[in-house]
Structure formats: structure tokens, C-alpha cells
């Protein structure tokens, strides 16, 4: 009985002493933005953790039983009935849509789109970027950008070009990139591609002025964007980056990044990187993942923006006696997220 009184209202961990529960709340950052079981309301740090809770080696049996009948295996939502689940899951899975990518990618392979129309009145607020790298250096292990693609939310190509690196290419990595010397011979120089992309992303706004949820700069979606921007020798505001490799709900339970291939299979329901890899395919996939995360419906959070000091202040040591007298729900209500939830991008 004593242990039950010291149970976390988020993840349901139990503690022998109330002071240990308070310390847990100080560092757990539970919030309305965490992936949550639709059956028992347990908060999980990531969707992988939630998946383990529902269908892992040691699931909660009651939740597993209900999920097996009414749960969507892609978004992990619980539906009202098996029939509702079937209809929902057909919409949730992107396999059938994916077949249309092959033809579009074939067109891209034949024709570049080296201009960006960023003066259009319908200019996109959110774009996805992906590069394909060839090898440089004596052993061919140095990543050099040789192809870049940018798409919008509707999977339209905004920009696509082969890129001529500033250093000599020593390994074209043809088996995965499909890039040959003739693709690079008359390709756009790296500096020119870099300038076009930077102008497009910033949209006339100085880099130092860019802030989240305000201004004209564009939200940039991708997977492992640090390496893509590095190979473009481009810096961009971290406020505007939405990286599926670094977003806590999409990471492993070990807090390491999941591969884009795994995320696509688990959350979208189809395979990518079968044979040669195309940057357009990666752009489409990361944008679909981003939109799935952005479209989640979360309760209104009193503290919507992530702050390292938020939990430190709310669970300050000088409030220890007051905190230890609170109920588990009251303690949970004080907690805030330690990351920016993408659902907030849909808030006007």
C-alpha cells in the first residue's frame, strides 16, 4: 500500500519514499506530448517504448489483448472496434501510395529541376531535404554531396540537381547512389547549390533573426540533417529543423537514433532503400513521418515550449515539503516536456 501511494502518475513507476518520486518527476519530463497508451494511459518516452508496452516481449497483458483487436500497428492508436481498426489501418499505411514513387523517381533521374521558385504566393512553409553522397579522400570514405532534392508537403519536387563537389570524387558508390561520372561532369557547383538552398530556406530573413513559430523562414524536415547540411557546407537555424533521427518520440528506447528504413517500415508500412537510393524517396518519407507526428492531437499544455529550467524550477528543492504533500496527479501536472513537440507546428 505504501508503494502505491508513491507511484508516478505518468509512467507508473513506484518508489519506497515520496522524496524519490519527487526526484523522479524532476528528471522524467513527463508531459501531454509523450506517447501514451490509449488503454491504461501510461506515458512512454518514445513510440518504441510504447510498442514494447503493447506488443513487446513482456507487454502489459491487458493492454496487449485489447491492442491485438483494436490497435493500429502503425500509429499505435486504439480504435473503437475491429472494423474501425481495419478502416483506420488502411488509411494509416502508405504502401499503396509508395508504388507511385518509382515513376516519379525515374523522371527525376532524367531531368533536373535546378531552379527554385521561392517568390510564389503559395510558397511552402515546410520542406524536406535529402542529399546523396559520393566518396572523397584517398580511401573514398569522405562524404561529398553529389545530389540534392527538396520537396514540399504534397510531395512535389521544388529543387533537384546533381552537384559537383569541391574535392575530387574517388568513389561514386554507384551500387547505392546510382551516380556516374557523366552525372557530375556538368553538374551545378556546390557553392551555387548552397547559395540557392540557403536563400530558399531563409526566405529573406537574416539567420540571427530566425525564431520558432514566427517569421518567414521555412521549417526544414529530414533524417540526419546534420550530415546533409555539413556536406552542403550550410548552416541553418536549429529552431527550424525537424529531424526524424533526433526527435525523442521516434528514437530507440536506448535514446539512439532509429534508421529511416526502420521508421518507414514501423510507422508508414512500406520498404525503402531497396537497391539504389534516391533523395526524393527520403524527402517523401521524412515528410510523411513529420506530418504524422505533427498531426497528433495533444491536450493543451500549460508549458508548451521545452525548457531545461522548467522542471528544475517547478520541483525546486526549497519546495520539497510542499511537493511531498502533493498527489501523483498534482505532481504530474507540474511537469513539462524537455523537447519541442511537432504538434505545436500546427498551432496558428
Q: Name every residue whose Cβ is closer than 8 Å to that of residue 149 and which is 6 or more positions away in sequence.
A: 108, 129, 130, 131, 157, 159, 160, 278, 279, 280, 282, 283
Taking phi over 0 as left and psi of -120 to 50 as alpha, with beta for the rest, 233 belongs to left
Q: Looking at the predicted structure, is the pLDDT value of residue 4 above 70?
A: no
Taking phi over 0 as left and psi of -120 to 50 as alpha, with beta for the rest, 269 belongs to left
Please indicate, yes or no, if residue 28 is contained in any of the structural domains. no
* Contact status, residue 134 vs residue 177, Cβ threshold 8 Å: yes
The x, y and z cell numbers of residue 16, run together, are 519506497
pLDDT tens for each residue of 131-141:
999 999 999 89
Domain extent, residue 249, equals 97-293
Please indicate, yes or no, if residue 137 is contained in any of the structural domains. yes
Q: Looking at the predicted structure, is the pLDDT value of residue 69 above 90?
A: yes
pLDDT tens for each residue of 234-252:
999 998 999 999 999 999 9
pTM summary value:
0.90
pLDDT tens for each residue of 109-161:
434 566 665 544 467 899 999 999 999 999 989 999 999 999 999 989 899 99
Greater pLDDT, 183 or 116: 183
pLDDT band for position 206 (cuts 50, 70, 90): confident
Number of domains in the chain: 1
Coil vs helix vs strand at 207: helix
How many Cα atoms within 13 Å fall on the side-chain side of residue 82? 4
Q: Looking at the predicted structure, is the pLDDT value of residue 259 above 50?
A: yes
Please indicate, yes or no, if residue 319 is contained in any of the structural domains. no
Greater pLDDT, 116 or 86: 86
Please indicate, yes or no, if residue 40 is contained in any of the structural domains. no
Q: Which range, 187-201, 267-281, 288-302, is most confident?
A: 187-201
CATH number reported for the structural domain that contains residue 131 in this entry: 3.30.420.10
Q: Looking at the predicted structure, is the pLDDT value of residue 286 above 80?
A: yes
Please indicate, yes or no, if residue 263 is contained in any of the structural domains. yes
Q: Looking at the predicted structure, is the pLDDT value of residue 281 above 80?
A: yes
Please indicate, yes or no, if residue 88 is contained in any of the structural domains. no
Please indicate, yes or no, if residue 134 is contained in any of the structural domains. yes
Q: How far apart are CA 225 and CA 223, in angstroms?
A: 5
Please indicate, yes or no, if residue 135 is contained in any of the structural domains. yes
Amino acid at each position: 500500500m505504501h508503494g502505491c501511494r508513491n507511484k508516478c502518475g505518468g509512467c507508473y513507476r513506484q518508489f519506497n519514499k515520496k522524496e524519490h518520486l519527487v526526484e523522479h518527476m524532476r528528471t522524467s519530463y513527463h508531459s501531454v506530448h509523450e506517447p501514451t497508451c490509449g488503454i491504461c494511459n501510461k506515458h512512454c518516452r518514445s513510440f518504441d517504448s510504447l510498442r514494447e508496452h503493447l506488443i513487446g516481449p513482456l507487454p502489459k497483458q491487458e493492454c496487449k489483448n485489447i491492442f491485438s483487436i483494436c490497435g493500429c500497428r502503425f500509429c499505435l492508436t486504439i480504435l473503437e472496434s475491429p472494423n474501425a481498426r481495419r478502416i483506420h489501418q488502411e488509411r494509416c499505411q502508405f504502401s499503396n501510395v509508395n508504388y507511385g514513387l518509382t515513376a516519379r523517381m525515374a523522371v527525376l533521374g532524367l531531368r533536373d529541376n535546378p531552379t527554385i521558385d521561392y517568390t510564389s504566393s503559395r510558397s511552402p512553409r515546410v520542406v524536406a531535404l535529402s542529399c546523396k553522397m559520393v566518396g572523397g579522400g584517398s580511401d573514398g570514405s569522405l562524404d561529398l554531396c553529389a545530389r540534392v532534392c527538396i520537396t514540399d508537403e504534397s510531395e512535389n519536387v521544388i529543387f533537384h540537381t546533381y552537384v559537383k563537389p569541391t574535392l575530387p570524387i574517388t568513389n561514386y558508390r554507384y551500387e547505392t547512389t546510382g551516380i556516374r561520372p557523366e552525372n557530375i561532369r556538368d553538374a551545378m557547383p556546390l557553392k551555387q547549390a548552397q547559395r540557392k538552398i540557403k536563400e530558399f530556406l531563409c526566405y529573406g530573413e537574416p539567420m540571427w533573426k530566425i525564431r520558432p513559430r514566427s517569421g518567414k523562414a521555412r521549417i526544414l524536415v529530414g533524417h540526419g540533417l546534420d550530415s546533409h547540411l555539413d556536406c552542403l557546407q550550410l548552416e541553418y537555424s536549429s529552431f527550424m529543423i525537424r529531424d526524424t533521427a533526433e526527435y525523442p518520440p521516434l528514437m530507440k528506447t536506448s535514446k539512439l537514433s532509429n534508421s529511416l528504413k526502420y521508421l518507414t517500415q514501423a510507422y508508414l508500412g512500406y520498404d525503402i532503400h531497396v537497391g539504389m537510393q534516391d533523395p526524393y524517396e527520403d524527402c517523401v518519407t521524412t515528410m510523411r513521418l513529420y506530418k504524422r507526428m505533427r498531426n497528433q492531437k495533444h491536450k493543451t499544455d500549460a508549458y508548451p515550449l521545452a525548457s531545461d529550467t522548467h522542471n528544475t524550477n517547478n520541483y525546486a528543492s526549497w519546495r520539497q515539503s510542499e511537493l511531498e504533500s502533493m498527489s501523483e496527479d498534482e505532481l504530474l501536472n507540474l511537469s513539462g516536456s524537455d523537447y519541442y513537440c511537432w504538434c505545436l507546428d500546427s498551432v496558428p
